[in-house]
Amino acid sequence: MNITVYLGANEGSPVLCKAAEELGRWIGESGNDLVYGGSKSGLMGVLAESVRNAGGKVTGVEPRFFVEAGLLYDGVNELFVTEDMFERKKKMIELGQAFIAFPGGTGTLEEITEVMSKVALGHLSAPCILYDLDGYYEGMRILLKKMIDTGLSSENRLQGIFFAKSLEEIKEIVRKAKADNA
């Protein structure tokens, strides 16, 4: 399964680095493939390197201006170079069969909310997982509940959007998605 992971090019805390490494190791060891933004920087580099070290395939989707700036992780197995960020998001969604938002910044938020919207509209049937490590996405969970409480969304529209507090929960969501698609 192609697992698209959105995460930052900054390292953040040691806890985040360790969690990114564990996620990458699981992706590589489980026979799944990584689709990500293609960078060697920060958490993105940690994740890609750990997938490769675990024997997994890494597909990078990198805008030309990042490639020209020398930010590309040179260990990618496959590379798609896009003209801009819009094209990058589209390609990452096209390639993905499951989507994970690791704790990240505004770019991660932009990318995962597009996936959330597609899932809510029924235009994408892949699981959308927010890795709620140490409550990172608790504010998003509260906002989604408020949308329902005020009548601006519904429980049905949020089917397929998951908050996982651990790697074990992510594994279970992906396992179930694979079984449902088999």
Helix (H) / strand (E) element for 37: namely none
Judging by beta carbons within 10 Å of its beta carbon (0-12, 13-18, 19+), is residue 70 exposed, middle or buried? Answer: exposed
**In the chain, what are the domain boundaries?**
2-173
Position 11 scores a pLDDT of 86
Residue 124's pLDDT band (cuts 50, 70, 90): very high
Residues 6+ away with beta carbon under 8 Å from 169 = 162
Mean pLDDT of 132-144: 96
Helix (H) / strand (E) element for 32: namely none
Is residue 166 pLDDT above 80, yes or no?
Answer: yes
| Percent with pLDDT over 70 in the chain | 100
Helices 14-29 and 167-181 meet at what angle, rounded to 10?
30
Judging by beta carbons within 10 Å of its beta carbon (0-12, 13-18, 19+), is residue 135 exposed, middle or buried? Answer: exposed
Is residue 182 pLDDT above 90, yes or no?
Answer: no
Residue 70's pLDDT band (cuts 50, 70, 90): confident
Position 129 scores a pLDDT of 98
Taking CA atoms, 165 is separated from 52, 79, 107, 130, 149, in Å, by 24, 31, 21, 9, 23
Residue 35's pLDDT band (cuts 50, 70, 90): very high
Yes or no: say if 127 and 174 are a contact pair by the CB < 8 Å rule.
yes
Residue 12's pLDDT band (cuts 50, 70, 90): confident
Helix (H) / strand (E) element for 88: namely helix 85-95
Is it true that domain 2-173 has CATH number 3.40.190.10?
no
